[in-house]
A and B are shown apart, each in its own frame.
Chain A
């Protein structure tokens, strides 16, 4: 074995699959050209928001040349009941939201499948629908828990009394619109049956859990279901669990006895893959004359569908951010005739911290304090909710060091007083946070006699650089150069593994990889040499992860924004964004930077652009493509910087790393909104901050 003491972790190793991706060699789900005789599936979305399918006139469609099958609730295979109601595809004639799949066409070509699907006539018995979330919606109820399993409400002390007695009080309601996940690669599946064995090339955030879920749904032994997801073109949470595309593909492939491909159209993505719920958040903060918080209250109203419950944990971060003896958080849901909201990058923290960190900015003004100083004064020594010590918490350092790099020091706090030509100029700050989760995973490490190693784990690289980071982690545990290590991922056959979700991929997989590779190295060292048929070690991390307790594991950050608002038009531009993060050890600075600035860009996009526009009459999000649903363009992102502290946390996991996939989007929108206020003296409490909300209110 060619041992090395040079550590790979911390180096900016380029993406291992980078050359394959930029040369088009990397095969995504429906690009497997070695699968022959493929047919194509095109789904048929409901054109009503609520009701029942009366009749599907599929005879003329079946008669079309090259149409192989029409799937409807009448002929679709019966599925096993699933907790995820969105997986019960074509299992009933009930329509629960506009855009829900009510049928699908399978044809020889993609073009014919689509044309046939668009011609299929579906008749409905229409019922009145209710799609509008309001703060006092009559169906509001308290869910048993919020995503994934947090208490719905929390209460410590006497919030009302403390608020009543507070010298400084902030009481405002903030809203965020529906936000839609739009990974570049749509949800896509290639399903292929070989006798009773099923292979799925699928775009997902976890091949193993996709295998388990789909096997159960179709009543199959997981051993006969093989899910392969070598390359995934983004997910942002929307591919965390299988969606209707995978179910339809498996059904269709069985029905036509051929492999089938199904890639969703961008329009479908605005209904069937999940989105971030709109939120209505009332925040109340009470503080003494010096800005010390006595009470924090965060009441959230949001939506779920009639298909299943999804309760976003919007007030979760508020439970741990700041010290205050009196604290309350609540979540209430309206059950509407809309698509089911699901995970979207930092569910909970992202919308919740927009509201909390906007309110903190308002409180700073109320108290006459610098917003950084206000946060420092309310820094909790321990997790205010559980009383546990932090494994590490660097919010104050992030604020201070970020402020220095950004040039916050000489900031004039008066809002609406600076301009540059036709543009009002301001700066804002907000905190970021995200938990450092980990979930049990299995890794296999194999040493070959030629000194090379292969590590297998059912990890997913959704564009994060996971494959590369795991190669670095494996190399260090093996004490060899990364040149000698090949990490194979994206295959359900590699065993149970964490999702690429909750920012816990690298921590979870890295932990298992470290354990397997360390054990393998020790075994090889004991053995003296690697025999011809190699040495293999498998490791699983349940025990280690269960043993992790006693601390609160959480990453923190601070984001700074400069906003410019045109005095005549209200146009908002953000020429500068700077993030400083305290997230343990950075495995790969190159891919980490991309994660941070990607998250921050998405946060900027949320602040200024993104909004699913609901049509009350039809009950759908009408701006269902990327021409009408605006995300930030390159020209919106000019000077963007991500930095991190050299934070050492030996408690969090063997790598000392905290997740970085989501923290970048947390707080950005508040930093931008706070900067817009500083520029204009206008407080926008309803995202996105578009020109029509500012026009007519600007200082002249």
Chain B
């Protein structure tokens, strides 16, 4: 273990200031990913600024129906909150499909969004990895990539973002509240994560020292008719092999509106805009759902051992939307 300093922040401004001042400082929330990566030598911060005393720990529903979620809300608490459980089933289901009970009790909203890839090469400091060590190479492309990306990847990196929660939030058009050295700002979740391109080490659009303080989920009239379906190799305690977050608005057998996002297939929670565009105004049938999934996956670039994710996502889209259409009718 490498020695590091640990301080507890009492307010957001001090936390931001402390981290901004030290290029090797990191924010620490639940620690369920950062601490593991420190043990592996992947993360080697000089200073950890503990956020858990900060006040961002409530879920509030505003007059217009926007749900504001503090960054420190634990995954378990968020999944159980009535506004989420009743109003945003896809988010509640996504949270409960993640990790284990113990981890969900520790993991926070901000930490979940910023968790890092499970790629085995990223996690092993004895091997090259463009994300961990820019320019060192990507062994995953030829090596173990069964669970890596088919969408949005680059020659330099095929890592996936492992979150379940973020996939549901992407479907919901969530916005991320950020506090930084230059003040507060809000960014769409869709713009929080960066695609790897030639710089897979740049995973987000956050600047050093910027702190996620919460998220806002805008109202979606048909959010109650939504679902999150996670496919995984074992029945529990496994990252997704593929996942789909969906919400569907059907009137007279025709898709009026739809939200779709995919997990475990891309370097970020993957909002399926092409699929959504292909579905609006179409009959709510399995054939339309399949065509929509195929429209999105036309851009897929599968590798030797992960090509199965293309039919897998397609099947899950068809099943999930068919089930939601059944509920609606």
Partner of A691, one of B126, B127, B233, B318: B233
Q: How far apart are the CA atoms of A217 and B146 in the complex, in Å?
A: 43
Contact of B233 among A111, A422, A630 (CB under 8 A): A630
Specify which chain A residues have a CB less than 8 angstroms from the CB of B315 in the assembled complex: 568-569, 695
The interface size of chain A toward B, counting residues with CB under 8 Å, comes to: 36
Q: In the complex, which of the residues A115, A569, A696 contacts B316, with contact meaning CB atoms closer than 8 Å?
A: A569
Nearest CB on A from B97, distance (A): 12
Which among A112, A118, A618 has the greatest number of chain B C-beta atoms within 10 A? A618
Interface presence of B1 (CB below 8 A):
yes
Instruction: Return chain A residues, CB-CB under 8 Å to B316.
Output: 568-569
Say whether A608 contacts B234, CB under 8 Å.
yes
A632: B residues at CB distance < 8 A: 234
B311 CB–A CB distance under 8 Å: yes
The number of A-B residue pairs with CB atoms under 8 Å apart is 88
Q: Given known contacts A111-B1, A618-B127, is B308 in contact with A695 (CB within 8 Å)?
A: yes
Task: With both chains docked as a complex, state the minimum distance between the C-beta of A46 and any C-beta of chain B, in angstroms.
Answer: 9
- A613: CB under 8 A from chain B? yes
- Min CB gap A637→B, angstroms: 9
A633 to B143, Cβ gap below 8 A? Answer: no
* Residue pair A696, B311 in contact (C-beta under 8 Å): yes
* Given contacts A609-B233, A613-B144, A617-B139, A569 and B120 within 8 Å (CB-CB): no
Q: Please tell me if B2 contacts chain A, counting CB pairs below 8 Å.
A: yes
**Residue among B120, B124, B234, B316 having the largest count of chain A Cβ atoms under 10 Å:** B234
In A90-129, the 8 Å CB interface with B consists of 111-112, 114-115, 118
Complex-state Cα separation, A457 to B231, whole angstroms: 50
Give Cα A45 to B124, complex, Å.
13
- Are A633 and B238 closer than 8 Å at their CB atoms? yes
B31 in the interface (beta carbon within 8 A): no
With A and B bound together, what is the CA distance between A623 and B241 in angstroms?
15
- Any chain A CB within 8 A of the CB of B270? no
Asked if A616 CB lies within 8 Å of chain B CBs, one says yes
* A622 and B235 within 8 A (CB): no
Specify which chain A residues have a CB less than 8 angstroms from the CB of B242 in the assembled complex: 569
B102 in the interface (beta carbon within 8 A): no
What is the CA–CA distance of A627 and B241 in the complex, to the nearest angstrom?
14
- Answer whether residue B142 sits at the interface, using C-beta atoms and an 8 A cutoff: yes
Q: How far is the CA of A609 from the CA of B233 in the complex (A)?
A: 7
Check if A370 is an interface residue, CB within 8 A of chain B.
no
Task: Specify which of B2, B142, B234, B318 is in contact with A568 (CB 8 Å cutoff).
Answer: B318
B5 at the A interface (CB under 8 A): no
Say yes or no: A622 contacts B121, CB within 8 Å: yes
- B6 is an interface residue with CB less than 8 A from chain A: no
Query: When the two chains form their complex, are residues A571 and B143 in contact, meaning their CB atoms are under 8 A apart?
Result: no
Which residues of A are found within 8 Å of B124, using beta-carbon distances? 622, 624
The answer to whether A617 and B142 touch across the interface, beta carbons within 8 angstroms, is yes
Q: Say yes or no for B118: interface residue by CB 8 A criterion.
A: yes
From A618, A630, A634, give the contact of B238 (CB < 8 A): A630
Q: Are the CB atoms of A623 and B120 closer together than 8 Å?
A: yes
Query: Which of chain B's residues have a CB closer than 8 A to the CB of A695?
Result: 308, 311-312, 315
- Inter-chain contacts of A630 with B (CB < 8 A): 233-234, 238
> By the criterion CB–CB under 8 Å, are B144 and A623 in contact?
yes
CB-based nearest A residue for B241:
A691
Instruction: Tell me, yes or no, whether A326 is within 8 Å of chain B by CB.
Output: no
In the complex the two chains form, is B234's CB within 8 Å of A628's CB? Answer: no
How many angstroms between the C-alpha atoms of A695 and B237 in the bound complex?
22
Asked whether A144 is an interface residue with its Cβ less than 8 Å from the other chain, the reply is no
B120–A573 CB distance below 8 A: no
* Contact between chains at A569 and B312 (CB < 8 Å): yes
A648 in the interface, Cβ–Cβ < 8 Å?
no
Q: Evaluate contact between B144 and A635: CB separation under 8 angstroms.
A: no
Question: B120 touches which one: A112, A114, A609, A622 (CB < 8 A)?
Answer: A622
For residue B236, CB closer than 8 A to chain A, the reply is: yes
Q: Does A690 make an interface contact (CB < 8 A)?
A: yes
A613 to B251 Cα, complex, angstroms: 48
Which residues of B, 7-48, contact A by the 8 Å Cβ criterion? Answer: 41
Q: List 5 A-B contacts (CB under 8 A).
A: A112-B1, A115-B1, A617-B143, A622-B121, A695-B315
User: What would 4 more interface pairs be, CB under 8 Å, given A114-B1, A634-B236, A695-B308?
Assistant: A111-B1, A568-B315, A623-B120, A692-B146
5 nearest A-B residue pairs (beta carbon): A635-B236, A635-B235, A111-B1, A692-B308, A568-B315
